[in-house]
Amino acid sequence: MKLFSKNLLIALGLLIMAPLTANAATVHLDAKTNTSSNAVELNLKAGTYSISPFKDDTYTAWNAWGKVQGCSADGTGCSKGWVNNYSFTTPSGTTHIITSDTGRYETADLALLNALGATFTLLSDATVQFFINDSNYGDNIGGMSLNVSAVPIPAAAFLFAPALLGFMGLRRRAQKTVA
């Protein structure tokens, strides 16, 4: 009987923890084609998500001019160069433009080094759109690779509620004893 209850508790724990595993998706944004009217769409469940730019074989950063010029000796402050910004639109209709600064860099790797991630929360299941926000896409080269992953709820959150209920029960018992 004890073995049965132990296995039952393990199964119950796995059932509770299964939805907590972080789901991840990779989004590749081509700076020429993934415009606001041709965004990459992800259907996501309600929850909190993090976006992290990363380097892979597809994209590192993008260049809005197709060339690099006017850079300082350290590869920053270019008049034309590689940029690291990307945009996403949540169901509320709000467009979020994520950029580390208004910097333009001599190399795509330097732009990626200065790229920022983002976090957003969906209150219900929804489609989120990711795109490059530029006005003239014809001379763009490169793109951004983003990792979009669910932020897992800590397992401790599930232990907090029963503990709180237990303390409330102890308090009630103490109040009955005093009265």
pLDDT in tens, 98-137: 876 678 999 999 999 989 899 988 889 999 999 998 887 8
Residue 17 clears pLDDT 90, i.e. is over it: no
pTM of the model: 0.73
Q: How far apart are CA 7 and CA 58, in angstroms?
A: 45
pLDDT tier for residue 53 given thresholds of 50, 70 and 90: very high
Lowest mean pLDDT among 70-74, 117-121, 151-155: 151-155
Of 93 and 48, which is predicted with more confidence?
48
pLDDT band at 96 (very low <50, low <70, confident <90, very high): confident
- How far apart are the C-alpha atoms of 76 and 153, rounded to whole Å? 39
| pLDDT computed for residue 27 by the predictor | 95
How many angstroms separate the CA atoms of 68 and 75, rounded?
Answer: 10
E-strand ranges in 31-137 read 40-44, 47-53, 62-63, 82-83, 86-89, 95-98, 118-122, 126-131
The three-state secondary structure class of 155 is helix
Rounded to whole angstroms, the Cα distance separating 93 from 90 reads 6
